[in-house]
Structure 1
Amino acid sequence: MKTRVLLRMSWQSIVKNKMRTLLTMLGIVIGVGAVIIMVAIGNGAQGQIEGQIANLGTNLIVVTPGATQAGGASQGAQSFNRLTIDDMEKIQREASLLAAVSPVVTTRTQVVTPGGNWRTEVNGVAPGFFQIRNWQVESGAVFTEDDVRAKRTVVLLGKTVANGLFPNGDAVGQRIRLGRTPVTVIGVLAAKGQAASGVDQDDVVVLPYTTAQSRISNFYFVGQILAMTASPRDIPAAMEEIRGIMRESHSVGGGTDDFTVRDQTVLATAATSTTSVMTALLAAIASISLVVGGIGIMNIMLVSVTERTREIGIRMAIGARGSDVLTQFLVESVVLSLMGGIIGLLVGIGGSMIVGRLTGWHTSTSLSSIVIATGFSAAVGVFFGYYPARKAAALDPIQALRYE
């Protein structure tokens, strides 16, 4: 039997009972739509986490203080700080795989303007900090190495601080105070948004680390050292290089490192693997609807075989083979599933957009989820349609013609 004839006969059988066809497809529609929506939510969450991790910096390597012990008990990570500007300069001077290096001297203080005040975090950094963090300037400009060497009192404001203190957008060029130190605002940083931990990255003031150490914090040690490689492939080798330089700088020898060198790989892998598992779990739960829809198709096809027993007998009596009958009913089942899958696909794409608008969640409908959901709906039609089709093909023509 030709494919065109099979499709026409299947379509005629499907549209003959419109309400039953609609109810039969409903399970597939709900199943495919649910799979698309759940996967879109999972993909959106994964993309958002990856974006937040990327916001921390490009090809980022972080050197932080190590742990110490008191009375035989470990005081935990970063409890023993021996990181200095000398360490940073040694890394900058001797490392061959780094594109930029910057210390981070962190403190908190009150920012005072004639119109108000704002308590925030103050970060003393080198000019390379902006390249490492991939942090653009919305207005004004960043400070230079000359500003660092001269310990100039110039600052850049994070977007949150700028909006809080200068709602009219006229922050650049203003004279403000960090604690008791007068400084000049030379730029406003572009908005970064929240970090993965929920911290507002824009609630910050950035200035040269030399100024921060001498005028603001009076801290000799630095909180961390940031570094960036030119390529992600260089990160493992660069970490080993930094580790060797730091061990030499701190005269560690064969002892335990009093510092920690990390990159974003572990954080990114853990975060994305978690969201991948959640996405797969959501898709698996939603796929149950497809199985239920497939069972509905099988039941309806069994009823159809019973209703059309006499018709099957006539066709077989005039020369139709069992394989023709099998193929006909199987095609009907697959067409039902595909129709439900296509409608479910439209429902899923539209539903994911609505969910994103109503909840503010990031949703992302991938081509792979569309292909998998639609292909799975066709597979459901084949799997659950085979038994009714096989039963129809196995009918005895004489018994089928006598069926009332």
Structure 2
Amino acid sequence: MAAMNLYVRSQLRHRRRRAFAVIGAVALGSALLIALTSLGAGFREAARAPLAGIAADLIVTRPDTGSASGQSGRGVRQPFGLATFDGAELGEVRSVQGVREASGSLQIWDFGPRSTVTIAGVDPAQRAVGPGRILDRNIVEGRALRPGERGVAVLDRHYAAFYGTKTGRQVKVGTRMLPVVGVVEIKDAAQTAAANVYLPLADAQQLAGLPADQVNQIHVQVGDSGETEEVTARINDRIGNVSAITADSLVQIMGAVGRISARFSTIAAVVGAIGGLILSWTALRGLVAERTREIGVLMALGWRRGDVVRAFRLEALVLGLAGAALGILVGLALAGLMSYVPIPELLPEPPGGAGHGGTATETGGEGLPVSISLTALAAATLLAVLGSTLAGILAAHRVTGLKPARNLVSL
């Protein structure tokens, strides 16, 4: 055993180029597995974040097939292309199989002379899912809206700072002046609930000239997130043609890279790891083949075939461990760089912009929420070590299958 260890150490010292080639190939596979897995997880997390912030799995809207030509000019109105749901339809959604919670809200726009203000009508009693959850948890000044309250407003922090408005002052919404009772910070993780001004739902309905039970967004929390598509289909069957914003639809907005990374990152990572193992197998074959004469000498001196295979297995194991360690470091570095990749803007701003320097729908400057899973690290290490060791064993078996005399005359 001591002779075997001495032989392995001497080979690692004197055949550094080949050893580095094996280590590099193993490291490449490990790094690709870690980096691609992390990239896919980052895109999936980025797509889930806008909905996770409001504890929803989907946001249901109804396309408006009417003409938008009659909605020109200033004043308060619904967003172009959105129709409403009534209270009975909201109740139908809540009764759909697989729906845990559902709350309705009303998004409207206030077209002013130089800016467009987004307004969210919120039911303060609905705090489990939807904008009410954000107002309940993210207030940074003052207080949230109270159930049954009318004639007050909560402002987005950026909007309030831009216009120098604080709690206790008034803000103009449509033609009304309303006291500001609170300021809320809408982080990017909750951008689907973003607005400049938050009003009690009844006030928003009145401003838009809608009946008291009308909403144009339904935020739905599904019991099993894996059934989101099935629940969407049931809602569509129950209340007619609807559109749904889901994590998958947000991935679509991210573009081809996001779709491929989110859906096929695991497959791509495994393919990359296998590619690295193939390269390491090629390098190990060369490492073993160039020692054919040495193997013949060792076997002529009394080494058995099993001794030679164990020596190369030990050498391949050491190289695999070194490659796995290097690959993990490179993979972590690549994942760290990916965290600087900007997240695409998932939700469009209202037409004309909000008229101030930081709308709550902006995502610029935020990087992918990349995370490294222990499973990916373990898989990268396992594949690197087992793959390189197996490659070393197979290469050694191939050479030791020859008779010592043939090894001695091999070039």
Change (3 A) 1:401 1:229: closer
Q: CA deviation at 1:299?
A: 1.1
Q: Deviations over 1:344-371 (max 9, x none)?
A: 2222223322443476333222122222
Shift of residue 154, structure 1, vs aligned partner = 0.7
- Once the two structures are superposed, what CA deviation does each residue of 1:119-150 show, in whole Å capped at 9, x if it has no partner? 22112221134431231222221222231xxx
**Superposition deviation, residue 16 in structure 1:** 3.0
Give the superposition deviation at 1:163. 3.4
The 3-state SS of whatever aligns with 1:128 is: coil
Deviation at 1:95, TM superposition (A): 10
Instruction: Determine the structure 2 residue equivalent to 1:72.
Output: none
Instruction: Please give the per-residue CA displacement for 1:99-130, whole angstroms capped at 9, x wherever unaligned.
Output: 86643222211579xxxx75221122211344
Q: Please point out which of 140, 143, 148 is paired with 2:142.
A: 140
Residue type of the alignment partner of 2:312: F
In structure 2, what is the Cα distance between the partners aligned to 1:373 and 1:312? Answer: 35
Identity among equivalent pairs (%): 16
Q: TM-score, normalised by structure 2?
A: 0.71
Which residue is equivalent to 1:103? 104
Contact 1:158 1:188 in 2 (8 A): yes
Aligned-partner residue type, residue 151 of structure 2: T
| Pairing 1:18–2:16 present | yes
Deviation at 1:192, TM superposition (A): 2.7
* Partner of residue 297 from structure 2, selected from 296, 300, 310: 310
Closer, same or farther in 2 for the Cα pair 1:92/1:80, shift >3 Å?
A: closer
Secondary structure at 1:146's aligned position in 2?
coil
User: Matches of 1:61 and 1:355 in 2, distance apart?
Assistant: 27
Partner of 1:226: 218
2:177 is matched with which residue?
182
CA distance in structure 2 between the partners assigned to 1:128 and 1:342 by the alignment: 53
Q: Distance in 1 between matches of 2:222 and 2:192?
A: 27
Q: Which runs of 5+ in 1 are unaligned?
A: 70-77, 248-256
Question: 2:16, 2:41 → 1: CA distance?
Answer: 36
Q: Distance in 1 between matches of 2:56 and 2:268?
A: 32
Q: What's the counterpart of residue 171 of structure 1? A: 166
CA-to-aligned-CA distance 1:252-301 (integer Å, 9 cap, x gap): xxxxx446596958769999986443313541453323322321121122
Backbone CA RMSD of aligned residues: 4.3
AA partner of residue 277 (structure 1): R
* Structure 2 CA distance for aligned equivalents of residues 337 and 207 of structure 1: 61
Q: Are 2:106 and 1:123 equivalent residues in the alignment?
A: no
SS in 1 for 2:118: strand
CA displacement, residues 125-182 of structure 1 (integer Å, 9 cap, x when unaligned): 21134431231222221222231xxxx221111233223323xxx5222211012211
Q: Distance in 2 between matches of 1:269 and 1:355?
A: 17
Q: Which residue of 1 aligns with 2:323?
A: 340
Partner in structure 1 of residue 272 of structure 2: 286
Residue deviations 1:224-266 (CA, integer Å, cap 9, x gap): 3536669559x99xx79x979x97xxxxxxxxx4465969587
* Rg (Cα) greater in structure: 1
Is residue 366 from structure 1 mapped to residue 373 from structure 2 by the alignment? yes
Aligned to 1:73: none
Number of residue-to-residue matches in the alignment = 362
Q: Which runs of 5+ in 2 are unaligned?
A: 67-79, 343-366
Instruction: Name the CA distance, whole Å, in 2 between partners of 1:12 and 1:93.
Output: 72
Residue 205 of structure 1, aligned match among 180, 197, 206: 197
Which residue does 1:75 correspond to in 2? none
The change in CA–CA distance for 1:368 and 1:165 in structure 2 (over 3 A counts) is same
What is the TM-score with the length of structure 1 in the denominator? Answer: 0.72
**What amino acid maps onto 2:145 in structure 1?**
F
1:286 alignment partner, SS class: helix
Structure 1 counterpart of 2:360:
none
**Residues 1:387 and 1:345: Cα distance change in structure 2 (over 3 Å):** same
1:158 aligned residue (156, 167, 186): 156
